[in-house]
Structure 1
Amino acid sequence: MAIYAVGDIQGCYSVLRRLLERISFNPAGDRLWVVGDLVNRGPESLQTLRFLRGLGDAATVVLGNHDLYLLMVAAGHKRLDDDDTLFDVLGAPDRDELLAWLAGLPLMHVEGAHAQLHAGLLPGWSIEKATALAAEVSDVLRSPDGQKLLLHLAGNRPEEWSDDLEGWDRLRVIVNAMTRLRFCTVDGRMALRAKGPPELAPAGTMPWFKVPGRLSRSHTIVCGHWSALGFYREPGLIALDSGCVWGNVLTAVRLDDGAVFQVPARPL
């Protein structure tokens, strides 16, 4: 059995299938870790959701910001932008089943020496604390208050964590960090509007994984979200968003031995 972690698919289902063929993925024995952003901007969001849901226990999937955006749109709390490609999901006959499956996915998964999430962790969060915080969000999202949570998710504030935060502000900070974080200050203030490469970090900030003394260094973080960073590895980090939806490549890493597999967004 092998565990393969794959980056942001974003509706590029055909590319995903070519990547799985490349690695000879066998759902009877292998497992697929998907680091979020299953949907949007690519042309095949519906096929992607149906396929991953159909993998059952062979797929370990966490939520990304685009996945939450789909849930917010479906709940009537967001309007589609011109570059969104979610109409096929929203009009599908199995829409409700797919959205319920999506809402049931976690923000974070920890197994052995690896922690899987979409974007990042604030420097003051240990893996144990982050796991508990992610569970707080999941408990609400799966409850009758899930629709209220979707209503209150939008926004960049508060910009930093405090153990004293309560209610929607508390949950919004957790979600923003785990699904949107790229840059922050040493004390954990998030710069959520910044989307460029690490060398263009806003003044006073740095990539979240570079903060000295980050408490989550006990595990290797497996994440995506940051296409301007691209596929990137360093001790304690595997970043997998290699910009497939922008015409680059889709990347998978076999966690057992670190082997890297990539296929182009368009066949050569």
Structure 2
Amino acid sequence: MAQPSAAYPSVAPVGVDTTRASIARVYDAALNGKDNFEVDRTVLEQVRAVAPQVNDLAWANRDFLIRICRFLAGQAGIDQYLDLGSGLPTAENTHQVVQRVRPAARVVYVDNDPMVLAHARALLEENPDTSIVTGDIFRPLDVLANPVVRSELDFGRPLAIFHIGTMHHYLGDDGAALLQTYIDAMPSGSYLAIAHFCDPETPESSELARQMEEKFVHSPMGSGRFRTHAEIRAMFGTLELVEPGLVLCDDWWPDGPRLAPLSPVRHCIVGGVGRKP
């Protein structure tokens, strides 16, 4: 397939350019991290005008990641992971969760933000089973041909590929075709996990989703699409969705009973895990 990401400025690396927001740094700011600048926090403040609890998008995304890591390492027996768009290191990164369950699990992170790469390399310096490589996750042919990816992961046996909180920053309409390139490279028994901003197309949440999209896209970050459930489901292709399917991130095997109602923005991010037969 064509690899069109160069057409979209939101996916270009910005490093430590303090005049332009970075996707990774905005996410870090939403998780109350310290590796962000005023321009990154400005993005959240703009969205907060229509969604006071905008930070919940990031927390729902992060909690979903942790739960799928435990499921895949513990229940599915997966011991190799390709985490696309890893973002700045924070608590409970993919390798930390899966390697607690499977100490020999191998994890390869891919990102193109120089600040992310520098932080991650320092964190992973003494972890021989975890690597990070420079790459544009929206150019799957390049990622899959990367020599580190090919040497660290065995594409002859099952693995997991993560697109957690990434595809809503891809502004093209060919996201399903892009992900199909990754799916085609996955051997039988592999899994693809996706978390994505969503327009639920309900009277209660659709207007909020579109208002947040408007703020994100016209912010210094320049991206953040809220696709419909059907559009996101199409990204899994013919993969078999693990129960409960494509649902709110908070509804994908939660850790316990829900004692308080979800905030409105948590109804605008969904996640799912698909298995290749």
Q: Which band: TM-score by shorter chain?
A: 0.3 to 0.5
Q: So what's the TM-score if we normalise by structure 2?
A: 0.33
Q: So what's the TM-score if we normalise by structure 1?
A: 0.34
